[in-house]
Structures are given as structure tokens and as C-alpha cells.
Structure 1
Amino acid sequence: MNTELPKVNPNTVDFSGSAVYVNRTSRFVLSIPNLREAGELLIFPEGDSKVGQPMKKNQIGSADRGVIFFNGKDSAWQAVRANGNEAILINDISKEDADLLKSHIDSLTTDGRKLTLQSIKNILSYARNEIGLIDFYHKSLASIKRDMIAMSVKNPYYMIVTKSNKHRAIFVDKPFSFDGPVQQKYPNGAVLVTDGRNTWGIATDVFVKNFKRIEGDQEISLTSTDGMLRLQ
């Protein structure tokens, strides 16, 4: 976790020569209920350089409560508040895997049982260890409702990004770390993306699979990073 990688400063990255892209990622949306004090304290865990520091703060400035999880694509600890307004997204997921996850959740919530911290951890463990999914991060339910739609009426957890927001992107073909929304580590390189306000990293394979290049009024699927602007 503490492997030092060269840092890329977002303020020095010039995206002006980039093509324009839109996000069309498929995701599994796990809404986190209001667990109140049953959520875990949101502090960086052992093994992280910020161990013991708050990951997310409450209104009085101390660590909030929710669920801590690890994003294996970004090599970053992340957290979601358990206040009924946020969700954990499992990124870049197929319909088959989304159906497996739904069945697993259904088995944990039969007879009206609600999701608990333990059952949420169980779901994330199942996704990681049984299906092989490792790309997890948090998002507000309000932004999910605004930017995504369900792919199937039979599986409302399975959604796709439909927003028209334009992005620019640079391929970084060398190891680096990046202080985006969280500290992201990419020992094999990755893609940096900006929407004009914020900049963040995306694993190369995830970007190629899920982003489309805009040409006129067409959305063009990507097959590789060939032709992308590269960090100098």
C-alpha cells in the first residue's frame, strides 16, 4: 500500500490537445441505508499512509460513520457515508455478473431483512472473491438518479451512465500516483480524465472499454489507447 510512485500534479496537465469523450460505463449500484451508529468509523485503516485520519467528516469535523472499502483498480481505500444518501458503485460490470450480485443480495435480504454493515461487507467480499470484481467507489444517490438509468427492469441495481458531459483524457504510459478525489496509484499507468472542473484517474482497460470518442454527432467505441493524447 505504501509503495512510492512518481506523482502527477493535476495543475500541470494540459488536456487541450485531447479528443472529446463521453462516459458510458455500466455499473452496479449498491445503495447504503442509514445505519446510524451501526456504521464503522470512517478513518484510514492500517497499511495506509494516512492511517487513523478521517476519510469523511461529519458536521462537527470528526470522522463520520459508514462503510470502508478498497478500490483494487486505483489501489485506494475509499468510504461511503451510511446516511441513506450515498451508494457504493461496482464499476465496469457485465449483465451476468450484475445478475449474480442481485441474487446474492436477495439471499441476504429475504423475509424483509435490511442491509447491515455485516451484510454490505459480505456483498463486497462476494463481488471481489467469487466474481473477481475489484473496481469499487462511492457516489451520491442524487447524482446517480441524475446521470444513470437502469439497464433492466428485472435488475434495478444494474445501470449505465447516460449523461452527455464531455471529457478530455490523457494516457499516462508509465507508473504514477495521483491525488484526485482520493490518492490513486497506478503502477502500470492509466488514463487521466477531466470534465473541465475536476481531474481523476481511470484504469486504462476500464477507460477503453467504457468511454466513447465523440466525432460530430457520433459516439465511437475505443479499442485501444492508440491515437490518444499522451502525457509528455
Structure 2
Amino acid sequence: MEPANYVVSPAFDSAEAVIFVPGLGGRTTFVERWNDPGQSPVIRRANWSEPMRVPSVDERGAALASLVEASGVTGVVLVGHSMGALVCLEAGRRLGGRLRGVVVICQYPPHRTPLSPLAQLPDRALAEEIEAPPHISGTAALADYARLWRSEYHLLNRYLESDPRPVLDAPMVAVGARDDASSWNAECLGDWSRYTTGRLSVHLVDGGHQVVEEMAAVTLRGWISELTPSAV
């Protein structure tokens, strides 16, 4: 049996790639509409191959970097939402010159992110807090998913307490949502500058923590173009 890893789709087919990494819950179906015919670059999505297994942020980052290296991709832009942004940070530190840049969405930098109290909530309250879809929150499967979410929050808290932090040699774009407690403050987002030797740009958009699911493809591609003139 192969070890758990990220599965990237569509599959790599060129030397350069853009990869979206989701946060808790791993929702990525909305990425499909970013890839309408004629849209470039293609946005690939990374999903963990064993959704009910909960690896650490560091392990996920190492796995994603290993996958990129094994693929032959020589230039990659990573786009991470929420905890996925931290996975991108950990992957980026391992990718070296392959990394063209990182877009972090709805996530303060580690040193500005408070430890999460959500792991202490009852199942239904936790589901409401993270805006879980009805097909989970309204069924008997909720208890199993709630155990998964709690495990992820415990691992997130463990990561936030770790040191030292990665510093990437690539530009970054930090995107916050005005109604999101995890990213509404532009000053906090500006502290992502501690994690890169390259340039940082900060943007605020309307919406809450799941704003990424409604984000227009042209908006995301605009941020990607800030990282690399060729927009990979």
C-alpha cells in the first residue's frame, strides 16, 4: 500500500504549475470553475489521498514538496487557503528554486495566529463554526467528521507553537476577507513579510472565511500574475 500523499489534479503536464491547497475539510470542487476553456494558467488542486487520516502541517508540506519534485515540475506557484496556506509555507521551504511564489488566502502568518479554541466545541457547534456543508452537519456522519476536525485543530495549534519559522526566497501575496476573523486585519497580513526575502503584496476582499469558494478566476489569476510576469 502506498503511503498517504497529496493527489494533484489535473495531472502535471508541463514544467510549470499552479497548485491550490485547501484548508480544513479539504473542499476543492469549486476549483473546476477556475479552469474554464481558454483560461490560463490551469489551477490544479491538491487533495490528501486519505481524507480521514490527519497528518501534521509539516508532514503535509513535505509530502507536497516531494510530489512536485518527483513530477519534474521546475516552477510552481502555491495557493493556500486557511491551514492550506501553512502547508504551502512548509512545502515552499523545501522546494528551493522551484518555488515561483505563494498566495495565502484567509490566514494570518503563524506568529499572528492565536491558538484555536474550536477543538473544544460540541459537534454541531463546531460544524456551524467552520461552515460545514449540510450533507455532513445534518447526518449521523457528523460525529466522525467532528473527530477529524478536532484532530486537525490540535495539529494546527501544535504547529503554531513550533519554531523556527520558514523564510521563503520567493514573492508572496496575502489575501484577507473583511468579515473573516482569521484575516480581516491588513497589518497582521503584512507580517507575512517576515516569511519571505521577496516582495509581499496585501489585498482585502469582501466576504468571510470561505470567500475562496466564490472567488472569480480572473481575481486569483491577477494575484498569481503579481508573483511572476509569465503567470506560469
TM-score normalised by L of structure 1: 0.28
Structure with higher strand content:
1
Larger Rg: 1
Structure with higher helix content:
2
Greater RCO (CA < 8 Å, at least 6 residues apart): 1
